[in-house]
Structure 1
C-alpha cells in the first residue's frame, strides 16, 4: 500500500505526525493509498521553504520563469493519460473526460504564464512635475488549496499567474484526491522550493490558510470552508481569492431548438456526475415548450449510464446529500421523471435524475447539490425565468438559451461571474470574472489574475529641475 509524502524544498518528506488518511476509489470502495492527515509542523516547513526560495525565483527574468513553467506544462501534457487514470482512481472521473481537461489545463497553464511577457510589471506615466513609475511586485509565498472534483485542472488554473509573477506556492490538495497532485509535483521542472506540497485535511488546510508568512490564499471549495479561509485572511491581512459553491441556473426560452437544447442541458447537469462548480442545477423552461423539453431531457439522460459515461460520486456522504435533495423534493410534491434511486452494488453511483414540479423553496433549488440532478421548473415567460434565476444567494454562473436579441441583452444583467448564452463552458483568453454572493470573492482570469498576484507601488520622481535653487 503506497503512502504519499509531502514535497518540501524539493525533497519528498514524511509527515511530522503519524496520522494517515485512506484514499478510496469511489467506484470500488477500495483503499488504494494512504496520505498524511496533515499538521501545523508540516505547513511550517513548507511555508519556510517557499519563503526562502521566493527571492531567487522572483529575481529570474520574466522570460526565464515563463520558459520554466512552460516546460512543466509540456511534461504534464505528455503524461495526460497517466494523470487521467490517477484521477479516475482517486475521485472517479471517466478517463476520456479527465484526459481532455488535463490536456486543456496544461495548455492553459502555459498560456497564462506567457501572459506575463506582456503584462505591465512596470509602467512609467509622465506628468507636468515629473513622472510616476508604477511597479507591481510579487506578493511572496502564497497558498493554493484545491478541491477534489477537478484536482489537476483547478490547481493548474491557479498556478500560472502566481508563479509567472514571481511568487512561490504551497499547494494543499483535497484529502480525497492527493495522488494527482503528488504526480504533478514529481513532474516539476522548477527550482526547489518554488512549489511545495502539503497533504492532509483541515489539519493541514487551517494552519496554511492562517499562516502569518503566507501573503495570498487561493481557495476553491465549499462555502463553509471558504468563509473560514476568508476570516483567517482578514485576521492576517493577507489576500484571499475564493471560488466557492454555486447553484447555477439555466433559462430556456420559447423558440429554441428543443432537442439540441435539452441535450446541452443534460450535458451541463450530468457531466462529471454533476460535480462541477458551474453545473446546471436549476432549469427554468418557458411554458410553451416545457412538456416537449422535459421529454427530450429525460431521453437525453438515458445516454449517461452510471459506470460507463457517468462516474461515481466522490464518496458516500456526497451521494447521501444528492439523495437527500431528491427525497426532500419528492416529499414536497416533485415528480421523478427518471433516476432518483441509489445505484445498487459497489461504488457511490447515482443515476442521472430529472425532477419536475419543483419550486424554489426545495433543497434541490436552493442548496448546492453537486450531483447528477436536473430539476425543471416551468415559467410563464422569459422575464419570470430570468427573475427566478437571479433570485439566489449564489452568483457563480448562469446559462441562457434564446433566439431573441432583447432577451440576450437582458441575460447579460444576471448577477453571476460567468453568463453563457446559447452555449455552456465557452471561454476566451481575455475573460475575467469575480463570483457574487456566497459563490466567493476576488477577480481572476487574464490580467486580473496578475493584478491579484502582485502588489502595486508608485515611485514618484520629480522633474530634473524641481528642487533647484535660483
Structure 2
C-alpha cells in the first residue's frame, strides 16, 4: 500500500526547530497538531544518537527484542481507540478503515516479527556441490545493517510508515522514521508507546519534516525503505545510489480486476466496491480498473452501481458513521477530479458520483465510470482516489492484455468460479501479488512477500525477504579436518594437475551432447 506522495518528507527527541508544520484534519479543515520541521543538522545529530544506541539494542538478541515487541502489541490493544482516533484525525479515513487496515496490521506485525525474526535471520547451514569444500562447514549469517531510514507515506501512517520499522527493529537495527508531513502524529504517538514498552532511548527516532528532511535522512543511514510515488521513488533511488546504500521501494499502482463470465458476480461486485473505495481509494493496491467479460458486463455494472450508490461519505465521527472518508493529501483532490473530467470528456459516463464534495473538508464522491477505454487517464494513470472505471472486454485474452498494458505491476485480482482457470489467468498477470476471488487480502498474510513489478517498486516487504533486506549477509566457511597442504596449494606439479583434470572429466565430462 503506497501513496502518491510528493518529495520524501517527518522529532526524535525534543529538538527545537526553526519552523513548524500544521497538521490538518482533511475531513474538517481543522488544525489538529503541529510538529517541528527538522533541518539537516538535526537529522545528523539524530543519526549519531541512533548509531550509538544500536549496538546495545542488537546485543539484546531476538528474544530480548521480541519481548519489547510483544509488550508493544499489548500496548496497541490497550490504546486501540486512542490510536484509531489519531489516525482518523490526520487522514480523514473512516474509523473502520483505521481499525481494520491499520490497527489490526500493527498488532499482527508486532507479534509476527517477534515470533519469526529469529527463524528468518538465524544461521543457515549450506550444502555445496563444490569438490573443493567437501567436509567443510558452510553457513550464511545475517548481520543488521546498523541504521535504517524509513520514509513513509501519508495514506497509511501506521501500516506503511511505522509498520516498516517493526522488522527493521527486530533485525537489530536502529531506525529513523520520516513520516509524511501530512500525517506525522500517529508515528510520534507509537514511538512514545514503544518507549513505554522498554525500547531503549534513540533506537527509534521520528524525523518530522518535508522533502529536505527526507533527503537528510537518506544522507545518514545505511539503507532506505521508501513508500510513495514512482516519481519520488526514482529520486530516492538516485540519492541512495550516490552513497551505494541499499534501497527498497514500494511505489505506485494501477491495480486491475478481471471478472470472468463464470464469476460469482455478487461477490465480485462487493469486492470491487470495497477495494476501490476503502480508505477513499487511497491505497496502492486499490482496485483502480475493472475488465469484465461481455456476457456478464451489464449485470456486474448494475450490481456495482447499486452498491456504490448506497455508500455514505462524510466526517468520520466514530464506528459506523461513514463508509468513505476524506481525501488526505490536498493535491490529490485535483488529480482525482482531473481524471474523472478527462474520462467524461472522452466519452465515459459517471453512473455514480463524479464530483467534489461540498463543505470545508476534502471529499470526492465515490464514482463509478463506464464506457471507458485506455485513451483515458482514469484507466492508465494512478488516480489514488474513490473511482472505479469498468470496461467491457470480449474475453479473458483481451482482459489479460489490457491488464498488462500498464507501467505498473503491484497487485491484481481475478474472479471466476473455476479456481483453476482463475489461477491460470493470475499467473499471466504482470503483478507482484494476485488474488483469486479476493482483493488486497494477500497483504494481511505477513508470510507472503509483497512487492511490485515494473515501475511499482524494488524489493519486497513481508516474508523472509521483508526482514533480510535490513541485514547484510556474511558467508562463513570453517575447515575442521584437513591436511597440511591441499591439492590446489602451491607448488603446482604437472602430475598432480593432470590427475585433477582427470577427476574433473569424471565428475563433469560424462554428459550427453545434443
Q: TM-score, normalised by structure 1?
A: 0.94
1:130 aligned residue: 136
Q: What are the ranges of 5 or more consecutive residues in structure 1 without an aligned counterpart?
A: none
Q: Are residue 370 (structure 1) and residue 384 (structure 2) matched?
A: yes
Change in Cα spacing, 1:407 to 1:421, as seen in structure 2 (3 Å) is closer
Residue from 384, 388, 410 that aligns with 2:425: 410
Shift of 1:321: 1.0
Residue by residue over 1:172-223, the C-alpha shift from the partner in whole angstroms, topping out at 9 and shown as x without a partner, is 1000111111111111130111101110110211111233xx1111111111
Q: What is the CA–CA distance in structure 2 between the aligned matches of 1:468 and 1:60, rounded to whole Å?
A: 41
Q: Are residue 246 (structure 1) and residue 263 (structure 2) matched?
A: no
Q: Where is the strand percentage greater, Structure 1 or Structure 2?
A: 1
Across the aligned residues of Structure 1 and Structure 2, the Cα RMSD in angstroms comes to: 1.7
Specify the SS of the correspondent of 1:242: strand
| Farther-moved stretch of structure 1 (258-267 vs 126-135) | 126-135
Task: Tell me if structure 2 keeps the 8 A contact 1:77–1:103.
Answer: no
Shift of 1:432: 1.3
Q: What is the CA–CA distance in structure 2 between the aligned matches of 1:193 and 1:349, rounded to whole Å?
A: 39
Runs of 4+ more than 4 Å apart = none
Residue from 478, 481, 498 that aligns with 1:464: 481
Residue from 238, 261, 285 that aligns with 1:231: 238
Q: What is the CA–CA distance in structure 2 between the aligned matches of 1:408 and 1:468, rounded to whole Å?
A: 56
Task: Tell me if structure 2 keeps the 8 A contact 1:269–1:374.
Answer: yes
Q: Are residue 147 (structure 1) and residue 153 (structure 2) matched?
A: yes
Q: What is the CA–CA distance in structure 1 between the aligned matches of 2:448 and 2:291, rounded to whole Å?
A: 26
Greater radius of gyration (CA): 2
Q: What is the CA–CA distance in structure 2 between the aligned matches of 1:376 and 1:135, rounded to whole Å?
A: 49
Task: Tell me if structure 2 keeps the 8 A contact 1:252–1:402.
Answer: yes
Q: Are residue 14 (structure 1) and residue 16 (structure 2) matched?
A: yes
Q: Are residue 217 (structure 1) and residue 231 (structure 2) matched?
A: no
2:178 aligned residue: 172
Residue by residue over 1:352-392, the C-alpha shift from the partner in whole angstroms, topping out at 9 and shown as x without a partner, is 10111111121111111110000011000111111111111
Residue from 413, 434, 438 that aligns with 1:423: 438
Specify the SS of the correspondent of 1:431: coil
Residue from 262, 269, 274 that aligns with 2:276: 269
Task: Tell me if structure 2 keeps the 8 A contact 1:42–1:204.
Answer: no
1:352-363 equivalences under 5 Å are: 352-363=366-377
Residue by residue over 1:123-175, the C-alpha shift from the partner in whole angstroms, topping out at 9 and shown as x without a partner, is 34465252223221111000111111110112343122211111110011000
Specify the SS of the correspondent of 1:288: helix
Task: Tell me if structure 1 keeps the 8 A contact 2:181–2:210.
Answer: yes
Shift of 1:13: 2.5
Q: What is the CA–CA distance in structure 2 between the aligned matches of 1:371 and 1:348, rounded to whole Å?
A: 12
Q: What are the ranges of 5 or more consecutive residues in structure 2 without an aligned counterpart?
A: 1-9, 128-132, 315-321, 487-514
2:289 aligned residue: 282
1:413-452 equivalences under 5 Å are: 413-427=428-442, 428-452=445-469
Q: What is the CA–CA distance in structure 1 between the aligned matches of 2:158 and 2:340, rounded to whole Å?
A: 30
| Farther-moved stretch of structure 1 (58-67 vs 371-380) | 58-67
Q: What is the CA–CA distance in structure 2 between the aligned matches of 1:430 and 1:33, rounded to whole Å?
A: 36
Task: Tell me if structure 2 keeps the 8 A contact 1:109–1:156.
Answer: no
Shift of 1:468: 6.4
Residue by residue over 1:326-370, the C-alpha shift from the partner in whole angstroms, topping out at 9 and shown as x without a partner, is 001111111111100111122111111011111112111111111
